[in-house]
Amino acid sequence: MIIPRTCKDTLTALEIHHGDLVEFKKTDGKVWRMRLLDTGARILSTTLKTPGVEEPKGMTVFAFHAEVEINGAPHRLEREVGSNRSFYDPWVVDGVHLWLDAVDALFEFMQETHAPCRLQENAKKSLPPRRHARFALQDAGKRICPEPILPWCPLPPDRISIDLCYRGEDCWLGAYDGASAHGGLDINHPRGTLLSAPIDFDNQFLYNSTDLGWNNNRWKGQRHWGDGTVWILDTSHMVRLTVPEHRPLAAGTVYAEGAGVYVGDHDHTHFGFTVLDHGELIRLDPWILFWQMYRDASEGKRS
């Protein structure tokens, strides 16, 4: 299938099948073409007796890859999850930033029992059960959104490291108990750490709260961008919100005391990132937001 997309102010998120051809029209009007040829995943190390079967505090590091052809040239994109390499820079190929977010093959040895993160199911019987790979794309000359992204929480110096992700595993897709892909990014910080809006939100609210009998306080903020894309950023485990819900929130405003409810072994906040793009809700690695946050912080924007 040919999937046409035009570069916009916010990054483009999409999930595709083997054989699909993405035609991405860049800012300069040139069309950048990527065909997905193959995908795969493998375990690099594990403490599990049986790969794929959770054990308390089990640890697994794995790799996944996509074979693609970009403007006629072959590329092998390979990622690692569960190590410091989880916090990666996008590939830059022919003027496009390319994030390989996930492949469905990794769910041959991982489960999806720790928040949604798997690729979409296909309703049509003529298609494979799931999409094969998830990508985010952006013209390399553009940011991932048209505004600076402010720190969501105090940023760890330099870059996030895997030891800050709960028990050293809960990055995006990381192996909770060695076998459950983590549907978010955990950052350990003390109870009460202040969380701030990284971007302007149109609306924001708790969708689960201890006040209403849930075991956790889970919040989401929504932003409708001028290009039609909607971003949903979410956080969990906050002690309390510090702002009224169901109203806009300006970038930089403190909205919660984080990391104190239902946190398990380590005080941490769980971060999530979902994009509504071309009518599809696509969950992405929150690291992509942090990647831009670090770049913006280093350039001193809005400081």
Residue 197 Cβ, how far from Zn ion at the closest point, in Å?
Answer: 20
| Residue 183 contacts Zn ion per CB under 5 A | no
| Residue 82 contacts Zn ion per CB under 5 A | no
Distance, CA of 80 to CA of 106 (rounded, Å): 11
| Residue 270 contacts Zn ion per CB under 5 A | yes
| Residue 169 contacts Zn ion per CB under 5 A | no
Stretch binding Zn ion (CB under 5 A), from 18-26, 118-126, 264-272, 275-283: 264-272
Closer by beta carbon to Zn ion, 216 or else 222: 216
C-beta neighbour count of 243 within 10 angstroms: 12
Helix, strand, coil percentages, rounded to 5, for the chain: 10, 45, 50
Q: Of 23, 17, 18, give the one whose Cα is nearest residue 2.
A: 23
Distance, CA of 202 to CA of 52 (rounded, Å): 40
| Residue 286 contacts Zn ion per CB under 5 A | no
Closer by beta carbon to Zn ion, 126 or else 215: 215
Closer by beta carbon to Zn ion, 39 or else 188: 188
Residue 10 Cβ, how far from Zn ion at the closest point, in Å?
Answer: 25
β-partners of residue 38 are: 67
Distance, CA of 138 to CA of 99 (rounded, Å): 9
Distance, CA of 118 to CA of 104 (rounded, Å): 7
Stretch binding Zn ion (CB under 5 A), from 21-29, 53-61, 104-112, 269-277: 269-277
Residue 213 Cβ, how far from Zn ion at the closest point, in Å?
Answer: 21
Give the CA dihedral 170, 193, 205, 265, nearest 10 degrees.
40
Residue 114 Cβ, how far from Zn ion at the closest point, in Å?
Answer: 7
- The full DSSP string for 85-122 is GGS-PPEEETTEEEEEEEEGGGGGT-EEEES--SPPBP
Closer by beta carbon to Zn ion, 26 or else 237: 237
- The full DSSP string for 157-179 is SSS--GGGSTTTT-STT-EETTT
Please select the residue that binds Zn ion; options are 101, 186, 267, 285, rule is CB under 5 A: 186
Question: Distance between alpha carbon 281 and the CA centroid of its chain, in Å?
Answer: 12
**Number of shown-chain residues binding Zn ion (CB under 5 A):** 3
| Residue 258 contacts Zn ion per CB under 5 A | no
Please select the residue that binds Zn ion; options are 184, 221, 272, 286, rule is CB under 5 A: 184
| Residue 79 contacts Zn ion per CB under 5 A | no
Residue 183 Cβ, how far from Zn ion at the closest point, in Å?
Answer: 8
Closer by beta carbon to Zn ion, 209 or else 269: 269
| Residue 177 contacts Zn ion per CB under 5 A | no
Spatial contact of 55 and 76, defined as CB atoms under 8 Å apart: no
**What is the chain's Cα-based Rg?**
19
**What is the Cβ-side half-sphere exposure of residue 67, based on CA atoms within 13 angstroms?**
8
Interface map 126-165 toward Zn ion (x if CB under 5 A): ----------------------------------------
Stretch binding Zn ion (CB under 5 A), from 129-137, 178-186, 191-199, 273-281: 178-186
Closer by beta carbon to Zn ion, 103 or else 171: 171
Task: Give the residues lining the site for Zn ion (CB under 5 A).
Answer: 184, 186, 270
